[in-house]
Amino acid sequence: MISSLLPRLEHVGIAVADAAPVRTLYRRLLGTLPYKVEEVQDQGVATHFIAAGAAKLELLEALHDDSPIARHVARRGEGLHHLAFEVADLAAHMERLREAGFRLLQDEPQPGADGKRIVFLHPKDTHGVLVEFCESQPALPPPTRVAVPGGSLAVYSWGSADRPPLVLLHGAAGSTPTETAVLARALAPHFHIAALDFAGHGASDVFPDDALTADRFVADVQAVLEAFGWPAAHAFGFSMGGYIAAELARRHPDQVERLAVHASNAFWDEALVAQMNARLQPDALPARVQAQLDHVHRDWRLLFDRMRTFVAGLPALSDVADRLQAIQQPTLVTAADQDDLFPLQSALDLHAHLPDSRLGVLPGTRHGIAHVSVPALAELLHAHFLPEAARSFG
């Protein structure tokens, strides 16, 4: 589902003369290395991103002697360069800042690192601290079409084919662009990623005459594995995607190496169904959200109707505890401590019933991935899916 994003600390920029010893320092301090290095040629800077809990560290290294970062280091030495806050609508936030009397160093948003559009405020207006505001602009590759009976699925791919395969699954009435794409970008340096839009969702075909069921969604994932030539892969699912990833692991254990689920639920009752289906009432949504959904799904009103039917059948699932006990793959269960759909108890119940599971709770976050610290979640997933690599950082 689409949701607004309140301003939050996205990263801390640190100017460095030479990134190599600083990378070593933070490896000793935090036990991790940068998950991505990116050059921004227009600004003459190489950026090294380090996951650090609720925010990121961005090491800024000059690409040449006359770049702004080189001049900054020459004048002031290494150290804090800027604080960056992420907003959902940068253009609207820039207008608000102008009205509040702040001077902007750019008239229009500029392309920045990590798929962001950015703007800086004049440090004289912010007590000497350079402040950046940024807006995520995920780089979305064109989808591959994977043929299935009656149509095709849209599948987005990131990363190198020589990396471990990883499937990302979005939530009910969600899609890759609105939910899992931002996580795929963070994990792309370490995995070959396939993120699919389930049947009826996003850019996949509508399949109007087919029921949307767990059987259908599991078959969708299997079709993707076959299309990519993957006998097995790691699997991550958000919300409903977590349920489908777990079902794939249970039904076809040879096709899932390791499993991770975020903000997911296994034990349903009528009250929870009513709460979920209240979110799937088209006419209850604001006009702006309806307009956004027109750009996300091919027929979102039909999709919402079908997903209400899907959710209504979940309390009838039998032997849920036994189903979970049958999942033998190492599993990471993560949750938002302020989830406004599934209570934290849902994650605790999953963790208790899965034979080989670990639990991670992300503080100060609600249900949607838009509310989660992506670097923090990506770091947990990297350590879970590649435990040997994670141990080597210590």
Task: Give the residue among 67, 75, 61 at the shortest CA–CA distance from 42.
Answer: 67
**Other CB atoms within 10 Å distance of the CB of residue 79:** 10
Task: Give the residue among 116, 97, 114, 113 at the shortest CA–CA distance from 105.
Answer: 97
Any bridge partners for residue 79, and if so which?
15
Strand 151-158 with 192-196, pairing: antiparallel
Helices 300-312, 270-278: inter-axial angle, 10-degree rounding: 170
Sign, CA dihedral 222-223-224-228, equals positive
The Cα 309–Cα 246 span in angstroms is 20
Cβ neighbours of residue 85 closer than 8 Å, sequence gap 6 or more: 7, 8, 9, 10, 131, 132, 133, 134
The residue to which tokens 């990302």 are assigned: 168
**Which two structure tokens, joined as six digits, stand for 83?**
């604080």
Contact at 8 Å (CB) between 219 and 252?
no
The DSSP output letter for 176 is I
Domains of the chain (ranges plus CATH)? 8-136 (3.10.180.10), 144-392 (3.40.50.1820)
Give backbone dihedrals phi and psi of 174, rounded to 5 degrees, phi first: -100, -165
For the full predicted model, state whether its pTM sits above 0.85.
no
Task: Give the residue among 88, 85, 123 at the shortest CA–CA distance from 103.
Answer: 123
The Cα 362–Cα 355 span in angstroms is 22
Helices 214-228, 240-251: inter-axial angle, 10-degree rounding: 70
The Cα 374–Cα 187 span in angstroms is 10
The DSSP output letter for 179 is I
pLDDT at 392 (0 to 100): 41
Strand order in the sheet with 357-362: 144-148, 151-158, 192-196, 165-169, 233-238, 256-262, 331-336, 357-362
Per residue, the 3-state secondary structure of 281-336, as one string, reads: CHHHCCHHHHHHHHHHCCCHHHHHHHHHHHHHCHHHCCCHHHHHHCCCCCEEEEEE
- What is the longest distance spanned by two Cα atoms in the chain? 68
Contact at 8 Å (CB) between 191 and 260?
no
Cβ neighbours of residue 297 closer than 8 Å, sequence gap 6 or more: 173, 175, 200, 201, 202, 303
The residue to which tokens 């100060």 are assigned: 364
pLDDT tens per residue across all 394 residues of the chain: 333 446 788 999 999 999 999 999 998 988 888 878 888 887 899 999 988 766 789 999 999 999 999 999 999 999 999 999 998 788 889 999 999 999 999 988 888 887 788 999 999 999 999 999 998 765 688 999 999 999 999 999 998 898 999 999 999 999 999 999 989 988 887 899 999 999 999 999 999 999 999 999 999 999 999 999 999 999 999 999 999 999 999 999 999 999 999 999 999 999 999 999 999 999 989 998 899 899 999 999 999 999 999 999 999 999 999 999 999 999 999 999 999 999 999 999 999 999 999 999 998 778 888 778 887 898 899 999 998 765 443 3
| CA gyration radius, the chain | 22
How far apart, in Å, do the first and last CA atoms of the chain sit? 38
pLDDT at 306 (0 to 100): 97
pLDDT at 2 (0 to 100): 36
The Cα 224–Cα 345 span in angstroms is 32
The residue to which tokens 């091919």 are assigned: 298
**Which two structure tokens, joined as six digits, stand for 343?**
């209570």
The Cα 171–Cα 264 span in angstroms is 9
Sign, CA dihedral 275-339-57-163, equals negative
The Cα 105–Cα 125 span in angstroms is 11
Contact at 8 Å (CB) between 154 and 203?
yes
